[in-house]
Amino acid sequence: MVITFSIISFLIIGWIILSKFISSVYEMSPNKKASEYYKEYTYSGLVTNKFIDSKQHNYQTVIIQNGEEKDILLLDFETSGLFDFIEVGDSIFKKKSSLKLRLIRSELDTIIEMQIFDKN
């Protein structure tokens, strides 16, 4: 009974945190371009999962693990096919204020400039 309650609590808290993050990315003011939102984030770590989140409007979701921290990279406004190119096991690094992403995989070390659809 206690374990079930703990699991349910954990799932609810996780859902709330994920919802807050997603809403911060996707609630764009009319004066701010999508690319400006992507520039606000920094990423550094190993891709542990990638999926189309059918429970969250089919968002293209990439989970990046950096030690104990997990980052969520949503690629819905990225138009170059980066989501399809990324593989579980890749290392990804992105600095704040930039759309350039460094991707490292076995024999590959490359810089990719994210192509963001700005409807403004």
Write the CA distances from 60 to 4, 63, 67, integer angstroms.
30, 10, 23
Nearest residue to 73 via CA among 18, 113, 118: 18
List, for residues 12-25, the tens digit of each pLDDT value: 665 666 555 555 55
Mean pLDDT of the chain: 85
Nearest residue to 117 via CA among 79, 82, 84: 79
The span from the first CA to the last CA of the chain, in angstroms, equals 51
Kindly tell me if the per-residue pLDDT of 63 is higher than 80.
yes
Kindly tell me if the per-residue pLDDT of 119 is higher than 80.
no
pLDDT at 18: 55
